[in-house]
Amino acid sequence: MFYLSQAHLERFQRCPPTFQALYLEQLTAPNDPNYLENQQWGIRFHQAMQQLQLGLSPAQITIDPNLHQSLQDLLTAQPQLLDQQQQQTAAEYRRTLMMDDFLLTIICDWINFGADTLQIYDWKTYRQPRQSEELKDHWQTKLYLYVMAETTGYQPEQLAMTYWFIAPSETPQSLTFQYNQTWHQQIQTELAALLTQLQQDLDQYFQDGTPLHHGDRQTCSHCPPHQHFSEVETLDFLAGKSLEDFLGEIKAVQL
């Protein structure tokens, strides 16, 4: 059984050699001090939202004025987050789905279970990118909605996923994708084909060491100029490859 998250699916679909280097060969990129510093804002915000879900108020959670204001702004913009009378809430909510030999796993930052609706929220702790509409085709959006539709009693039309973009000292912005049966079937077809290809590639890799490759595709913006690259080059091109790369350049958050 092979564990798969949205990150695994996204990397394999975009660049199988990167998937091999990162997940099969366990090559990791050196830590960028600037990235780690900026990442702290995201960690602190996610932890604060978990404490908020447990019943603490923003004033009890933090004395940091930026973090406190961001929490207040989000609650003002989305007051139904804490509406316990109408729905059940959960933070860092995990769900799994078996497909063939793969265990698909999602972890939702926040989820609201209503009587007739299920709403998934994801916190992006930077300003909203110009091309954020492309998130609809990212595996985070597709896998989260697909798994929830397959493992709950909700119909696809009752599901939605909202991304909140929350940067320090800026007004939060959001982007919502409403699910439906047609989209669900499209994802199911795409996911089945992707898992079939991944299984074939994994079988060949583990049986005779055949490297993962792009098939007929000749160029890849995520690969180095040539397939046979050194470990140093591998570490270099893996550094910072994430959802943020998919969305394009995002100005660094200064703390």
pLDDT digits (tens, 9 = 90+) for 27-52: 766 666 666 666 888 999 999 999 99
Tokens of 73: 């702004």
Task: Using CA atoms of 10, 12, 15, 16 in order, give the dihedral in degrees to the nearest 10.
Answer: 170
Please tell me the distance from the alpha carbon of residue 208 to that of residue 226, in angstroms, as a whole number: 22
Please tell me the distance from the alpha carbon of residue 159 to that of residue 157, in angstroms, as a whole number: 6
Quote the pLDDT of residue 222.
67
Quote the pLDDT of residue 243.
47
Tell me the whole-structure pTM to 2 decimals: 0.84
Please compute, for residue 127, the number of CA atoms within 13 A of its CA located in the half-sphere on the CB side. 11
What mean pLDDT is reported for the chain? 84
169, 182, 191: which is closest to 10 by C-alpha?
191
Please tell me the distance from the alpha carbon of residue 82 to that of residue 21, in angstroms, as a whole number: 42
Question: What are the tens digits of pLDDT across the range 144-197?
Answer: 999 999 999 999 999 999 999 999 889 999 999 999 999 999 999 999 999 999
When pLDDT is cut at 50, 70 and 90, the band that residue 218 belongs to is low
Higher pLDDT, 187 or 220: 187
Helix axes 181-208, 6-14, angle to 10 degrees: 70
Q: What backbone phi and psi angles, to 5 degrees, belong to 145?
A: -70, -40
Class of domain 2-247: alpha beta
Q: What backbone phi and psi angles, to 5 degrees, belong to 54?
A: -80, -5
Question: What are the tens digits of pLDDT across the range 55-92?
Answer: 999 999 999 999 999 999 999 999 888 887 778 999 99
